[in-house]
Amino acid sequence: MKMAFIGLGQMGRPMAINLLRSHPGLLVNTASGRAYAELERLGAIATDDRRALADCDLVFLSLPDDEVVDHFLFGAEGLAQWMRPGSIVVDTSTISYALTVSIEAKLAALGIHFLDAPVSGMASRAVDGTLTAMCGGNEQVFNEVAPYLEKMASNILYMGAAGAGQLAKLINQLLFDINCAAIAEILPMAVKLGLNAEKVAAIVNSGTGRSYASEFFVPHILAGQFSSGYPLKHAYKDLVSGAGLSTKMGIPLPVLSAATATYQTAVLQGHGDSDKGAMIKVYERLLGVEFRATAPSAGGSTAHLQ
């Protein structure tokens, strides 16, 4: 089977490498071209030729947002116009449910199969090939694609019709996003009350307050590192999707709404290029403290911001 992998960013690059290990000759494409040399050394064929990509039987996408995915498939140089009936597009990107359903319908009209298969897990799990993939679409197509997804993910779940994968990913992301906003709000309060940041971190991450978000971000926050995860400004799209579904379905989501306000404030304060841990800077600024691994002062609190 002739395959292509499009999008070699933070998640796509290691995913493509894992697929490449068992499928030499994989066609790869990325807007920047930065990963081409590395993947070519591993046996990939790098190309910017859209027709060559469209000539594949199976095309994986790992792209940043709705606009890029839609344009890559249906723009003036979009792949869909050249793909053969019976070929398959698997979108591992995180995009909106509405666009996913629309893409499936457009491709089906051309005789092209579509599977939405967004993935969950940080870049380290993409490297290890231990991502979780949530899939929506025709179950027969899912069964055909599953062996290839197994090269990139260790937990692969069929969720139902087209769009179900994106909905499942959204549920997971919204819970994660709320956890991150809670960390940003509560931990600076601990320092304001005179508690040692490192000891509080140890308590949280060994107690009932721990979460995947705290285990990943709190050590980075203590070290003042805010570039270890997905940029805030890109993660915001999940909150927009959640708000849209809340409005459309009439489902009240007050906790999510409050978390969204923290994300918005962080972006407005200029932290959009940093990871979600940087949201803590909103409340550090408000309270005049820092949650960092610094020696406690004589009064027992960590150093305050100047």
Tell me the pLDDT tens digit for each residue of 20-62: 999 999 999 999 888 899 999 999 999 999 999 999 999 999 9
Where is the domain boundary, 162, 187, 209?
162
Rounded distance between C-alpha atoms, residue 70 and residue 102, angstroms: 10
Rounded distance between C-alpha atoms, residue 282 and residue 304, angstroms: 14
Q: What is the CATH number of the domain that holds 15?
A: 3.40.50.720
Angle at 257 between CA 259 and CA 99, to 5 degrees: 100
Structural tokens at position 170: 């959204």
SS3 106: helix
Domain match, 120 and 226 both: no
- Specify if 53 maps to a domain: yes
Range of the domain at 87: 3-162
Domain match, 140 and 122 both: yes
What's residue 32's pLDDT?
87
Instruction: Indicate the helix (H) or strand (E) that contains 155.
Output: strand 153-160
Structural tokens at position 295: 């020696």
What's residue 294's pLDDT?
78
2 flagged as catalytic: no
What's residue 33's pLDDT?
83
Rounded distance between C-alpha atoms, residue 295 and residue 283, angstroms: 20
pTM: 0.89
SS3 178: helix
Q: For residue 172, give Cα distances in angstroms to 27, 235, 273.
A: 31, 13, 22
What's residue 296's pLDDT?
42
Angle at 131 between CA 96 and CA 245, to 5 degrees: 20
SS3 160: strand
Domain match, 9 and 157 both: yes
Q: Out of 2, 169, 237, 248, which one is annotated catalytic?
A: 169
What's residue 141's pLDDT?
98
Distance of CA 188 to the CA centre of its chain: 26
pLDDT tens for the chain, 306 residues: list them. Answer: 899 999 999 999 999 999 999 999 999 999 988 889 999 999 999 999 999 999 999 999 999 999 999 999 999 999 999 999 999 999 999 999 999 999 999 999 999 999 999 999 888 899 999 999 999 999 999 999 999 999 999 999 999 999 999 999 999 999 999 999 999 999 999 999 999 999 999 999 999 999 999 999 999 999 999 998 789 998 888 999 999 999 999 999 999 999 999 999 999 999 999 999 999 999 999 999 999 997 544 333 333 332
Domain match, 105 and 187 both: no
